Structure 1
Amino acid sequence: MPATTPRRLIIGISGASGIVYGVRLLALLRRTAVETHVVVSRAAKVTLALETELALADLHDLADVVYQPGDIGAAISSGSFRTAGMIVCPCSMRTLAEIANGITASLLTRAADVVLKERRRLVLVARETPLHLGHLRNMAAVTEMGAIVYPPVPAMYARPASIDEMIDHTVGRVLDLFDIDVGTVRRWREPPDDAPAEDAPGEAPDET
């Protein structure tokens, strides 16, 4: 019998603003047993330099396997390479448009196309505002194809105390879609894991 296939997740990082979401996603997945296969677009390399102090090598160090965006023959370009699915985080409108229209101009969009054709889960953390009709139509198209569009909208009910907490909550909710709990989500009406246990109720008072 073949060995059990490790749980693999493809992470695509496009050139949209908000690359910190992708960086944090990879950092949190390092705490899990999930094997990450990462492709960073050429535009994302520019965004990384503009929005963070990280070098590309720092981002690569967070991944288990890294592919070049032009490597169309990479493992993740084939449906026979089994994965749990793919997250594009952040997802630019250009990347979303390519996926919506079946245009596989890079390994990132080819991998997303493979995930869809194999009926695996594809989550697109779409980062843009405001949206014109073309954006909305592309979002509707990918949804009809089976993808999930997940704009990184902060959950204010969690009362985040910092930007980092907002990012962690959003990324945690994205991973919820793959049944991966990294402990960063403050769930509605659920006490946090580190909350003290309530005192056990005592005996009912004697009414005599």
Structure 2
Amino acid sequence: MKRRILLVDDEIAVLLTLKAVLEISGFDVDTATSGLEGRHKLRAKPYDMVITDMRMEHEQAGRDVVGYARGLPNPPAIALLTAFPVADDDWQEMGADKMLVKPMQTRTLLEQIEALLEKHLARTGASASTPAKAGKKAAKKVAAKKAGKKAAKKAVKPVAPAKKAAKKTAVKKAAAKAVKKAAGKKAAKKR
């Protein structure tokens, strides 16, 4: 299951770039272009993480999003995204778990998001693996399951020994191909 992130930022270029980066990395991403819209989306469905800009339609818009998210029954991990860093005491006092300063390298951003999500999951007692690990495990299970089903269907029919050996090889090749294809998709997502 993909982890869901809500991005809240009034700069459309930043919003769309971050959305693309996070989706390529295996996250399910919703966006909001204002603090008000962000709060509406938080009310509508649960998120694993909220990343919000500090200054949007007014100076306190980011603070409002953080406060609303923190007040939810199952609050998500919360990161402030800003080009104007504030003191640690200020963003922590707001209720944020992390401050992300833009611009930031993609790899650094993803590492910080992963670390924050893992820390949040540990703190709340939930458990999940990273999307890459989950995707790899799921792909292997699906490939093995498909190969097993094909083998079971073919095993029901009596066949000559030569045909049986050829079919067994075909099943093995199909399973290997499915695993290789899943690994290729994972590698493509990493890029």
Normalising by structure 2, we get a TM-score of: 0.46
TM-score, normalising length from structure 1?
0.43
Kindly indicate which of the two structures has a greater share of residues assigned to helix.
2
